[in-house]
Amino acid sequence: MTALRLATWNVNSIRTRVDRVTDWLARAEVDVLAMQETKCTDAQFPTLPFHQLGYEVAHVGANQWNGVAIASRVGLDDVEIGFPGQPAWGKADADPAVEARALGATCGGVRVWSLYVPNGRTLADPHYAYKLDWLAALRDTAAGWLRDDPSAPIALAGDWNIAPQDDDVWSMEFFEGATHVSEPERKAFQAITDAQFLDVVRPFTPGPGVYTYWDYTQLRFPKKQGMRIDFILGSPALATRVTHAEIVREERKGKSPSDHAPVLVDIRRD
């Protein structure tokens, strides 16, 4: 095997879309898939269809919200739930909890993180401040990984809920005053790329009009009114080994699709 194929996909309920996901895994010959918004508990995750295709699965989920998973056919070692310093979420009068939004594992020699960044909801919502805190904590922790080992091949893969550039949304006018495009969110994303985690997909998929997400409402997909919010950010040691990347737009079509498309990269094996 000359390359490792890594993909990320917000599946928007794995129990609803397990057949679509496993069918695509087989057709696309994906080695490692990071999944977000599985929307189920660990006990409810449909592991068997993945096992039948030769994939090991790690998953963390507590209820019908959030949930992240990694499926790998090239090994699944050193599984880690949450990253050090990951903020908790909850009302002040309740017990805040660290949500099921981050899962790490070593797969085929690459440290893969499946990440589901908080949405933010509105600029005035407490969830927005939580989102910025979450991203700042991720940046600090990820920078620490590289300080400890500058040669580590690390992939931060997932649904970032940020459109870093104006071309990453179909209409900046439509999103004026909304989350996903605000300056603080974009600066938070930039801080992670400044920490040497590079967007390894964009060079192969230049915009404008190249999206990974289309809302189910208002015929957004056929109207090509989407957002680019799903990314794979690679450490320097990983970024130099990426030979191909694509956004698999075709998987947004058909019966009962997720509202996100898979994003994949091929990584040269050293």
Catalytic pick among 31, 55, 128, 260: 260
Residue 96: predicted pLDDT: 83
Return the percentage of the chain with pLDDT > 90, whole number: 94
Average the pLDDT over 112-133 and give the result.
97
Residue 8: predicted pLDDT: 99
- Would you call 123 helix, strand, or coil by DSSP? coil
- pTM confidence score: 0.97
In the residue annotation, 260 being an active-site residue is answered as yes
Say how far apart CA 158 and CA 231 lie, in whole Å: 6
Average the pLDDT over 139-155 and give the result.
98
- Binned at pLDDT 50, 70 and 90, residue 1 comes out as low
pLDDT at residue 91 is higher than 90: no
Question: What's the token pair of residue 87?
Answer: 């903020």
Tally of domains in the chain:
1
Top-confidence residue, 270 or 239? 239
Say how far apart CA 44 and CA 69 lie, in whole Å: 12
Catalytic pick among 159, 168, 199, 230: 159
Say how far apart CA 192 and CA 13 lie, in whole Å: 28
B/e letters for 31-59, b = 16+ CB within 10 Å, e = fewer, are: bbbbbbbbbbebebbbbebbeeeebbbbb
Residue 63: predicted pLDDT: 87
In the residue annotation, 159 being an active-site residue is answered as yes
Query: Known binding site for Mg(2+): residues?
Result: 10, 37, 159, 161, 259-260
Domain containing 56 equals: 3-268
Say how far apart CA 32 and CA 176 lie, in whole Å: 36
Residue 94: predicted pLDDT: 65
CB 137 within 8 A of CB 83: yes
B/e letters for 85-99, b = 16+ CB within 10 Å, e = fewer, are: ebbebeeeeeeeebb
CATH number for position 212: 3.60.10.10
pLDDT, tens digit, 9 for 90 and up, residues 15-25: 999 999 999 99
- Would you call 156 helix, strand, or coil by DSSP? strand
Average the pLDDT over 49-57 and give the result.
98
Beta-bridge partner residues of 229: none
Mean pLDDT taken over the chain: 96
Pairing mode, strands 102-107 and 77-81:
antiparallel
Quick one: angle between helices 126-148 and 183-194, nearest 10? Answer: 10
Query: Known binding site: residues?
Result: 10, 37, 159, 161, 259-260
Top-confidence residue, 101 or 92? 101
Residue 93: predicted pLDDT: 59
The four Cα atoms 85, 42, 105, 184 give a dihedral, to 10 degrees, of -40
Say how far apart CA 6 and CA 175 lie, in whole Å: 31
C-alpha pair distances (Å), 112 with each of 57, 59, 250, 253: 13, 13, 25, 27
